[in-house]
């Protein structure tokens, strides 16, 4: 199983479109990513874990 993730990255161009209104455009300056993580072998779920606090499993 592989997890593919495509989040916004700093520098990405973004555009907000609302029907009947002017389009807003800009770029992503900063991101904050949190996750809900389930502890392996249990039903325990930890919520709002900052992505920078996680380390990849090798």
Q: Would you say the pTM of this structure is higher than 0.85?
A: no
Q: What is the pLDDT of residues 6-28, one digit of tens each?
A: 678 889 998 888 888 888 889 99
Looking at residue 2, its pLDDT comes to 52
Looking at residue 8, its pLDDT comes to 82
Q: What is the pLDDT of residues 32-45, one digit of tens each?
A: 888 888 888 999 99
Q: How far apart are CA 3 and CA 18, in angstroms?
A: 31
Looking at residue 44, its pLDDT comes to 95
Q: Are 36 and 47 in contact (CB under 8 A)?
A: yes
Q: How far apart are CA 48 and CA 18, in angstroms?
A: 30
């Amino acid at each position: 199983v592989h997890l593919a993730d495509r989040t916004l990255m700093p520098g990405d161009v973004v555009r907000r479109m609302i029907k009947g209104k002017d389009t807003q455009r800009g770029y992503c300056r900063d991101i904050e990513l949190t996750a809900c993580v389930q502890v392996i072998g249990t039903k325990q779920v930890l919520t709002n874990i900052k992505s920078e606090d996680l380390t990849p499993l090798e």
